[in-house]
Amino acid sequence: MAKVYNFSAGPAVLPHAVLAEAQSELLDWHGSGMSVMEMSHRGKEFMEIIHDAEHDLRELMHIPAGYKVLFLQGGASLQFAMVPLNLLGDKDSVDIVNTGHWSKLAIKETKRYAKVNVAASSEDRNFSYIPEESSWQRDPNAAYLHYTSNETIGGLQFPYIPSEQHGVPLVCDMSSDFLSREIDVSRFGMIYAGAQKNIGPSGLTVLVIREDLLGKARADIPTMLNYQVHADADSMYNTPGTYPIYIAGLVFKWLKEQGGVKGIATRNEEKAGLLYHVIDSSGGFYSTHIEQPFRSKMNVVFKLKEEALDEIFLLEARKNGLAQLKGHRAVGGMRASIYNAMPIEGVKSLVNFMQDFARQYG
Ligand SMILES: Cc1ncc(COP(=O)(O)O)c(C=O)c1O
């Protein structure tokens, strides 16, 4: 099999060691004679798997007491509705920061249930920056403030955690930079992330939620959308996505071996640094419109100087074992997603290719 480096934005590359381990125990998990896919979610084997996954995640993120970890389904997109349905309580408005595609979808869905105050937006300059926090127009009566720490499509990332004001809890869609850098969980009311970038396969959504935010769900919502129900049942109200949870558990163990979040964050900085350096030193052959402090370390979005070169760039890249570099159709150009599991060798290979390509076509 030819070596391929996969730069997909998600579902995305998983650690090779994790896939190999899953393969080796696919038919027989730890001498049980069963595949994880075949096990009862309430049996002692799977209980051990989910317990270890939660334990390792808590350790990796230093999740303090007073927070629940939930393993749910429906993707991050379902959270766009579940968050307001669960967290509005007796309030009727929500603050949201609009930094691009995913924030906009969160706004759209939230508007079905609440008044939305767009506390800040960078749409005026094509989502190339994060508005200065002091300029945000916050509503002191908002139920929570929602933001997207990393805009996967636009390639725009918050370099900091916003401050909590007026006791309004922070809710963060951390789908595409979860576990990529150290964060202080205690600053958040709730964090959620679709798994298919830094956690595992699609079909799993991970939530970290402060316990005092549970129990505020609207009475008329479906049982399956109620956080309290899932929290009370330790994510076992119904059949959870057992196999994605198992793979997530392997990814968490792998991450611990990489020096934890701190270790991987250093490597993520290095990988992103290599790519942005090639872009910045290409004499305009490659460019990114994202302002320096807000450039994503997970999704490096860039354009070639002529759109006509896009197809040939992608074809040549693929021939060189560099896959899934096409940018999202909403922004065009290229996107190199360099999540935790992308080895530095993959980024170096891309960097060399980009330099050669620029020499040939520049
Ligand atoms: C930041 C962000 N939020 C939400 C989503 C939607 O996730 P899902 O497809 O799991 O619903 C994505 C998907 O890529 C994303 O990148």
pLDDT per residue as tens digits for the range 163-183: 999 999 999 999 999 999 999
Strands 150-151 and 299-304: unpaired
> Band of the pLDDT at 115, cuts 50, 70, 90?
very high
What's the rounded mean pLDDT across residues 4-13?
98
331 & 201 share domain: no
Task: Give the chain's domain count.
Answer: 2
Does residue 313 lie within any of the structural domains? yes
To test the ligand 1 pocket, which listed residue (102, 207, 298, 324) has its Cβ within 8 A of the most ligand atoms? 102
CATH number (domain holding residue 285): 3.90.1150.10
What's the rounded mean pLDDT across residues 264-286?
98
Alpha-carbon gap, residue 340 to 211, rounded angstroms: 29
121 & 251 share domain: yes
Does residue 10 lie within any of the structural domains? no
* pLDDT, tens only, 45-104: 999 999 999 999 999 999 999 999 999 999 999 999 999 999 999 999 999 999 999 999
- Quote the pLDDT of residue 311: 97
CA 43 – ligand 1 centroid, Å: 31
- Quote the pLDDT of residue 67: 98
Domain span at residue 65?
17-257
Average pLDDT, the chain: 98
> Band of the pLDDT at 155, cuts 50, 70, 90?
very high
Residue 2 has pLDDT above 80, yes or no: no
- N-to-C CA span, the chain: 32
328 & 241 share domain: no
> Band of the pLDDT at 113, cuts 50, 70, 90?
very high
- Quote the pLDDT of residue 3: 81
Active site residue 197: yes
The residue whose C-alpha atom lies closest to atom 2 belonging to ligand 1 is: 175
Does residue 3 lie within any of the structural domains? no
231 & 269 share domain: no
Residue 138 has pLDDT above 90, yes or no: yes
- Quote the pLDDT of residue 216: 96
What's the rounded mean pLDDT across residues 207-214?
98
Chosen domain end from 237, 257, 277: 257
Write out the binding residues for pyridoxal 5'-phosphate: 76-77, 102, 152, 173, 196, 238-239
Chosen domain end from 257, 281, 304: 257
Does residue 279 lie within any of the structural domains? yes
Alpha-carbon gap, residue 62 to 143, rounded angstroms: 26
Does residue 145 lie within any of the structural domains? yes
Chosen domain end from 226, 257, 288: 257
Does residue 75 lie within any of the structural domains? yes
233 & 287 share domain: no
251 & 177 share domain: yes
Residue 121 has pLDDT above 80, yes or no: yes
Active site residue 173: yes
Instruction: Note whether 105 and 77 are within 8 A (CB).
Output: yes
- Quote the pLDDT of residue 243: 98
234 & 348 share domain: no
234 & 321 share domain: no
Percent of the chain with pLDDT over 90: 99
* pLDDT, tens only, 305-343: 999 999 999 999 999 999 999 999 999 999 999 999 999
CATH number (domain holding residue 79): 3.40.640.10
HEC-encoded secondary structure of the chain: CCCCEECCCCCCCCCHHHHHHHHHCCCCCCCCCCCHHHCCCCCHHHHHHHHHHHHHHHHHHCCCCCEEEEEECCHHHHHHHHHHHHHCCCCCEEEEEECCHHHHHHHHHHCCCCEEEEEEECHHHCCCCCCCHHHCCCCCCCCCEEEECEECCCCEECCCCCCCCCCCCEEEECCCCCCCCCCCHHHCCEEEEECCCCCCCCCCEEEEEEHHHCCCCCCCCCHHHCHHHHHHCCCCCCCCCHHHHHHHHHHHHHHHHCCHHHHHHHHHHHHHHHHHHHHHCCCCCEECCCCHHHECCCEEEEEECCHHHHHHHHHHHHHCCEECCECCCCCCCEEEECCCCCCHHHHHHHHHHHHHHHHHHC
Cα-only R_g, the chain: 21
Q: Of 136, 173, 271, 326, which one is the catalytic site residue? A: 173
50 & 76 share domain: yes
37 & 164 share domain: yes
CA 156 – ligand 1 centroid, Å: 14
To test the ligand 1 pocket, which listed residue (96, 110, 175, 177) has its Cβ within 8 A of the most ligand atoms? 175
Instruction: Note whether 122 and 99 are within 8 A (CB).
Output: yes
Residues written for the chain: 362
Does residue 12 lie within any of the structural domains? no
Percent of the chain with pLDDT over 70: 100
Residue at 98: amino acid letter: N
229 & 278 share domain: no
What's the rounded mean pLDDT across residues 226-240?
98
- Quote the pLDDT of residue 200: 98
Does residue 11 lie within any of the structural domains? no
Residue 272 has pLDDT above 90, yes or no: yes
CA 78 – ligand 1 centroid, Å: 9
Active site residue 254: no
Query: Residue 328 is encoded by which pair of tokens?
Result: 């999202």
CA 106 – ligand 1 centroid, Å: 10
Residue 257 has pLDDT above 80, yes or no: yes
Q: Which of 264, 285, 233, 238 is nearest to 339 (CA)?
A: 264
316 & 346 share domain: yes
